[in-house]
A and B are shown apart, each in its own frame.
Chain A
């Protein structure tokens, strides 16, 4: 890039071409050794996770249409970005999601029905991060979680949990956010703090093209990957529909972060094939041709072609289809069985220690509610 020019282009790391050919481009060269860590079984795992979550995603949208969920947040189209990056994490790492990373949670051990419970209005959270692979709660105020992630990573550093000399023990954080959230001040402040304290942290920005109805070009006139350089950290733009690129680049930056080499930013170029949420209507702002271009770059089709070129057994592909169908129907079944919390949830856990205001209000509330029971008896 020439100084003072308007050429803000950055190379896009790609290992797997849209037709499924394994053909790392020039930008991908330094990441090939990370790809080479993967076994055939890992490749198949990627495929399984992507197919299963897409099927689940469709089932969850159906549940919303049937009045079972207040809202659904589809991840269709972003599976490669999420599966590859999630696979690069280690058990001791902490993951701070936005609110669309269902498969990342699943791969860390989260029961996806917990996500459905939240979207059904039964809980504000839904799970205990430490019991679910350190997968933290979804955050609905955009970019807030980027700062929590950075603070958490500062704590790892203060604890001496990074750069211990033992890569099996070193800890790191990965935080997910999007092109829209990147405009929030908190995202910039998180990048400032992360660079300043050299936190063990990867910022994983899924550029899915749209912040509800507003295109990414309204958020930034430069590739988001360039912003990382501006804040003083290593940055890469990757083909977010290439699960190998997502894995390899995240693996490198997480390794570096754990080893004490500071934070990095990854911009994954992907596409929100579905709506923002079930309350959205993309036909009002999106061109069919644009969507068609991206559907042609589908991450699952691409990986399937790769596996087929390598002679994967048809029985494997069939098994995955069956597993996806079973997973979705099991989630549906259990989503219909979840029970509403009792009224205690209103007052529980607002404070850690008794609070006089709430003690009085709760006593009044309980007496008031009980008065109806007495009236009926």
Chain B
């Protein structure tokens, strides 16, 4: 049977009002609330992806949205990532603001050509004559014990591509606001969602928009060593900082939030104070976001540094079977090992 959709029709619920106050939400639910708000704010916002309709996405991030907005704004597309991104480009030319869900990090590559040779360059090729307000949401990273192609960290490929913006929230509050900021951007945004952080709850303030989209943020003050990371790595860094504090070492933790462009101001200020910098990431280290930060800090803050900038990364291998992922991914202990090396220098 291929000619009919036998699923029960989505029952469209009454569109609700803007949420207010503060609520404790998991990051996945915060993105859901942010998507909903963006769709309420702008009728040109539409969602595209695989299984994002009645199922609500494999991580349920789009749950309830097809009921509220209907199947002309929540498109359960054919199973073809290049097709999704390529048609989103055409929809953007027509004035829409498509928000795409790539089901898993490892499945973005069939769309790599449309993202890098078309989406990223379309405005430039048109000499400013078109805008490409397309957001590509990508659940990424490890720590969920899954199978091959389901735990990747491919953000560096996209950060290397001119024309794209690349961001990653680490908290529910950032997730709620950053997804709306990304959707409002007239440039294409790769929105990397740390999937191991989908479930823990955090306070979401629906009333006050925090920092701009492209701003790094100090999330824990410290004085001995600066440690920076993005996405789920921020949690690892905060755990490391707790342990270090017990041992009498003060770590300053910085959440990068925006990978491209990268806001170096707070990192430079912190290094001025600590003289030591560790960059941690779930991605492999060779030609990585961490490499870029290390190089830039070495160029700009050479005389402030008391030790070489050190990177803590996953190994330069394919993501291994999940049984050994805890040894593969940077842990608080590996961060602390680097802290010790930096302090001993």
Which of the 9-residue segments B110-118, B138-146, B302-310 touches chain A?
Answer: B110-118
A189 near B90 (CB under 8 angstroms)? no
Cα-based distance from A186 to B110 in the complex (angstroms): 10
The reply to whether B82 and A189 contact each other, CB–CB distance below 8 Å, is yes
| Given A125-B126, A141-B113: A155 and B263 interface contact (C-beta under 8 Å) | no
**Interface assignment of B329: CB less than 8 Å from any CB of chain A:** no
Query: At the interface, yes or no: A104 with Cβ under 8 Å from chain B?
Result: no
As a 0/1 sequence over residues 79 to 109 of chain B, the CB contacts with chain A under 8 angstroms (1 = contact) are 0101101111111111110000000000000
B77 on interface, CB distance cutoff 8 Å: yes
Cβ B187 vs Cβ A189 within 8 A: no
A189:B126 contact, CB within 8 angstroms: no
Q: Name B87's contact: one of A130, A147, A185 (CB within 8 Å).
A: A147
Binds B, one of A32-40, A84-92, A236-244, A345-353: A345-353
Q: Is A137 an interface residue (CB 8 A)?
A: yes
Q: Indicate if the CB atoms of B91 and A152 lie closer than 8 Å.
A: yes
Segment from A43-51, A56-64, A190-198, A215-223 that makes contact with B: A190-198
Are B86 and A190 touching (Cβ within 8 A)?
yes
A357 engages B118 (CB within 8 Å): no
The verdict on A193 contacting B83 (CB below 8 Å), with A155-B96, A351-B163, A357-B262 known, is yes
Assembly CA distance A144 to B114 (angstroms): 7
Judging by beta carbons under 8 Å apart, are A151 and B125 in contact? no
Could you say which residues of chain A place their CB within 8 Å of the CB of B125? 124-125, 137
Query: Quick one: which of B307-325 are within 8 Å of A by CB?
Result: none
Given contacts A192-B83, A352-B187, whether A152 and B94 have CB atoms under 8 Å apart is yes
**Interface residue from B87, B128, B214 paired with A349 (Cβ < 8 Å):** B128
A350→B123 contact, CB < 8 A: yes
Task: Convert B52-85 into 0s and 1s, putting 1 for each residue whose CB lies closer than 8 angstroms to a CB of A.
Answer: 0000000000000000000010000110101101
- Determine whether B200 belongs to the interface, using a CB cutoff of 8 Å to chain A: no
Contact A147 B114 (CB under 8 A): yes
B50 to chain A, nearest CB (A): 13
**Total A-B residue contacts, Cβ distance less than 8 Å:** 132
Q: Which residues of B contact A355 (CB under 8 A)?
A: 165, 187, 261
Determine whether the beta carbon of A193 is less than 8 Å from that of B78.
yes
Bitwise interface map of A from 331 to 354 toward B, beta carbon under 8 Å scored 1, else 0: 000000000000000001111110
Are B186 and A353 within 8 A (Cβ)?
Answer: yes
Given contacts A148-B118, A158-B96, A350-B163, contact A192 B127 (CB under 8 A): no
Q: Is B185 on the interface with A (CB-CB < 8 A)?
A: yes
Interface centre among B94, B113, B118, B126 (most CB of A within 10 A): B94
State the CA gap A123–B118 with chains docked (Å).
Answer: 16
**For the complex, what is the distance from the CA of A129 to the CA of B263, rounded to whole Å?**
36
Query: Does the CB pair A158–B72 fall under 8 Å?
Result: yes
Report which of A149, A196, A357 forms a contact with B90, defined as CB distance below 8 A: A149
The answer to whether B117 and A196 touch across the interface, beta carbons within 8 angstroms, is no
CB-defined interface of A132-154 with B at 8 Å, one 1/0 digit per residue? 00001101010010111111111
**Cβ contact within 8 Å between A353 and B185:** yes
Set of chain A residues within 8 Å of B114, measured between Cβ atoms: 144, 147, 186
Q: With an 8 A cutoff between CB atoms, is B162 at the interface? A: yes
Choose one: A124, A149, A186, A196; the contact of B78 (CB below 8 Å): A196
A144 to B111, CA, bound (A): 11
B124 within 8 A of A: yes
Determine the residue in chain A with the shortest Cβ distance to B132: A352
Check if A150 sits within 8 Å of B123, measured CB to CB: no
If A147-B83, A155-B94, A189-B83 touch, whether A349 touches B117 (CB-CB below 8 Å) is: no
Determine the chain B residues whose CB is within 8 A of the CB of A156 once the complex forms: 94
- CB-CB under 8 A from A129, the residues of chain B are 129
**Which residue of chain A lies nearest to B86 when distances are taken between CB atoms in the complex?**
A147
Interface residues in B163-197 by Cβ distance below 8 A to A read 163, 165, 185-187
Residues from chain A with Cβ under 8 Å of B121 in the complex: 124
How distant is A136 from chain B, measured CB to nearest CB, in Å?
8
What CA separation (Å) do A200 and B263 show in the bound complex? 45
Contact of B93 among A151, A186, A190 (CB under 8 A): A151
Could you tell me the distance between the alpha carbons of A159 and B95 in the complex, rounded to whole angstroms? 10
A128 at the interface (CB under 8 A from B): yes
CB distance from A248 to the nearest CB of B (A): 27
Q: Is the CB of A154 within 8 A of B113?
A: no
Q: Knowing A124-B125, A125-B126, A350-B163, say if A153 contacts B90 (CB, 8 Å).
A: yes
B residues adjacent to A (C-beta < 8 A): 46, 72, 77-78, 80, 82-83, 85-96, 110, 113-114, 117-118, 121, 123-129, 131, 162-163, 165, 185-187, 214, 260-263
Smallest CB-CB A-B distances: 10 pairs: A151-B90, A147-B86, A155-B94, A151-B87, A189-B83, A352-B186, A152-B90, A349-B128, A356-B261, A148-B90
A and B contact pairs by CB, cutoff 8 A, 18 listed: A124-B124, A144-B113, A149-B90, A153-B90, A155-B91, A158-B96, A159-B94, A185-B82, A186-B82, A186-B83, A192-B78, A348-B127, A349-B124, A349-B126, A350-B124, A350-B163, A351-B165, A353-B187
